[in-house]
Structure 1
Amino acid sequence: MSLQISILTPEKPFWNGQAEEIILPTETGEMGVLKNHAPIITGLDVGAMLVRTKEEWNSYALMGGFAVVKKNKVTILANEAESAQTINAEEARNAFEIAKANLEKAEGVKQKVEANFAYKRAKARFQVVKVVNKFS
């Protein structure tokens, strides 16, 4: 038996499927989940989620939310989610470079907070694309 994964966003159910392993971007770092994991509820950070099925690795950009792990079921309530297959690699790289530059030159608390969020979002999308290319 493997893990049953459900990713839900406010707009719609995003993805449902089986997995052997997942790696979640939590607020305290990355967290791996295998079958028979202890029950847990955790906050999700903006970042890349990796899913290993029997055949391959898949990656998704999550824009924060929560995850519930219980009895080999993982329910992810994400603010937004994006699959690596729907992200243009060149656009993701360019957006990451621009967000990185904007973060470095941000001044003032408000500008730094906004630039940091844009950077984390662009970084997550770029990481997801890099993971797909790495495992392809």
Structure 2
Amino acid sequence: MNLQISILTPEKPFWNGQAEEIILPTETGEMGVLKNHAPIITGLDVGAMLVRTKEEWTSYALMGGFAVVKQNKVTILANEAESAATIDAEEAKNAFEIAKGNLEKAEGVKQKVEANFAYKRAKARFQVVKVVNKFS
């Protein structure tokens, strides 16, 4: 393994492990990290983080935060994180469809902002489940 990954949430250390490659959901798009990546600090958007080991891809839903990459160590400070293994696929799909509909019907700035945030959370959870099924 090449990268040491740590995901920390306000409640507890969420996950520690090693990976060959990770893909982070940054505020400016997805960012891949391989061994010997240049040092960087980046803001994280709500989205799916993909982790590749020699054997498989796994995914985690991150609900925003920051990532620090330095000397083959990636430290992720996430507002919340969820593993694909803990997400019910059918429930995630239904929540995504509902959030999508609510976003389309939202009126006014406050309602649109709240609906957009709920949509992004539901989309991240649904993406994580789809990735697991895709690579299984």
TM-score when normalising by structure 1:
0.99
Residue 108 of structure 1: how far off its partner (Å):
0.2
Q: How does 1:92-131 map to 2 (within 5 A)?
A: 92-131=92-131
Tell me the SS of whatever aligns to 2:31.
strand
Residue 126 of structure 1: how far off its partner (Å):
0.1
Tell me the SS of whatever aligns to 2:124.
helix
Residue 74 of structure 1: how far off its partner (Å):
0.1
- Look up the match of 2:76: 76
Tell me the SS of whatever aligns to 2:38.
coil
Residue 54 of structure 1: how far off its partner (Å):
1.1
Residues matched between the structures, number: 136
Gaps of 5+ in 2: none
Tell me the SS of whatever aligns to 2:114.
helix
Deviations 1:30-83 (A, max 9, x none): 000000000000000000000001111000000000000000000000000000
The whole-number CA distance in structure 2 between the counterparts of 1:87 and 1:80 is: 14
Residue 133 of structure 1: how far off its partner (Å):
0.1
TM-score when normalising by structure 2:
0.99
The whole-number CA distance in structure 2 between the counterparts of 1:6 and 1:98 is: 32
Tell me the SS of whatever aligns to 1:97.
helix
Tell me the SS of whatever aligns to 1:122.
helix
Deviations 1:77-122 (A, max 9, x none): 0000000000000000000000000000000000000000000000
Gaps of 5+ in 1: none
The whole-number CA distance in structure 1 between the counterparts of 2:95 and 2:53 is: 29
Percent of aligned pairs with the same residue?
95
The whole-number CA distance in structure 2 between the counterparts of 1:2 and 1:48 is: 21
